[in-house]
Chain A
């Protein structure tokens, strides 16, 4: 039976992969998909620590994380649709007006 360590490492790997995707991809939709991958890593971490300490509070945190993810998906995708209507592209570079 793998211990909590393996789960924490796996959650960290998922979080890191999501971070890499969010930083390096240029498509707005794929960027937000990468944040969802990060959410998965955080949920695995929270539940693994709940299992370690043998109570369910981490699972409650995971449930609230699901709420946050749903809110983020709804608002972010609404904004993506709005930005697509304005510029006709999903490229995040199309909105980098403030770079020096």
Chain B
């Protein structure tokens, strides 16, 4: 660890300690907002420090740290009695997964994962939980259904797949470079090492453009389906039977044109 990283760490600790000082509960002169702001700043600086460290060679410690967090949080997702806490632990799973994707040099997908999952999908889940959750913890949250069989099935599947993963070779050095042919829009110097977002965007817009369009169509279909599902049906839309009219009067009230 060089000096600049250590100084950055001290800065993170100072900011975080100050935020913690304001966040601690007290009777008078409460400054919770200041504490929240300082805490967020400390978290951002901590992420910066991690990013500086992750690009260094190695990184085994980060893999073990984040995989441990992911597994423990996933266990808590499926074991917690309260669904709100399950959703919050799932946020932890998403963040740990994003960190692991950064270790795998998939920076764009990591950012997309945080934005889409932790930002959009989980908020939807929390809305539905707050809408539909009953007071206390009902019996269907406190008792699992066939837990032994479920664990046996999960163990068999996990062991069967993970047991075959033991002899994969080590990953190669990154060699994705810009094409030698001149690009009309964004002319990269030939042979330059592509950034992750550039590489993903390029292949998404060329080889997988049909899949991209189908994904957009799927989102449209899902939107229409969700609207149709959650639409409230008003009584005026129900089929109304025709008012009774005596046999000789049928059609008499129609205006001649």
Contact = CB atoms under 8 A, between A and B. Distances in A.
Interface of A: 1-10, 12-21, 23-27, 29-30, 32-34, 36-37, 40, 43-44, 47-48, 50-52, 54-57, 59-60, 62-64, 66-71, 73-75, 77-82, 84, 89-93
B161 interface: yes
A56 B202 CA distance: 10
A12 B109 contact: no
B170 A62 contact: no
A30 B78 contact: yes
Contact of B125 (A4, A54, A59, A77): A77
Interface stretch (B7-15, B37-45, B89-97): B89-97
A8 B58 CA distance: 18
A70 B171 CA distance: 30
29 contacts: A3-B170, A10-B100, A14-B97, A17-B78, A20-B154, A21-B78, A23-B153, A33-B77, A33-B78, A33-B86, A40-B93, A43-B101, A44-B97, A47-B109, A52-B168, A54-B172, A54-B173, A54-B176, A56-B200, A59-B200, A62-B106, A64-B211, A69-B121, A70-B222, A71-B219, A74-B226, A77-B125, A81-B128, A90-B133
- The B interface is mostly helix, strand or loop, or mixed, namely helix
Contacts of A78: 225-226, 229-230
Contacts of B225: 75, 78
A90 B200 CA distance: 40
A56 to B, nearest CB: 4
B6 interface: no
A17 B215 contact: no
Contact of A36 (B58, B83, B90, B170): B90
B4 interface: no
Given A20-B154, A33-B90, A52-B171, A82 B229 contact: yes
A71 B222 contact: yes
A55 to B, nearest CB: 6
Contact of A17 (B74, B120, B168, B203): B74
Interface of B: 57-60, 63-64, 67, 70-71, 74-75, 77-78, 83, 86-87, 90, 93-94, 97, 100-101, 104-106, 108-109, 112-113, 116-117, 120-121, 124-125, 128-129, 131-134, 138, 140-141, 143-147, 149-151, 153-155, 157-158, 161-162, 165-176, 196, 199-200, 203-204, 207-208, 211, 215, 218-219, 221-223, 225-226, 229-230
B125 A29 contact: yes
Contacts of B117: 36, 66, 69
A69 B97 CA distance: 15
Contacts of A59: 106, 108-109, 196, 200
Contacts of B230: 78, 81-82
Contacts of B120: 70
A75 B132 contact: no
Nearest to B71: A13
Nearest to A55: B176
Find the residue from B58, B67, B223 having the highest chain A CB count within 10 A: B67
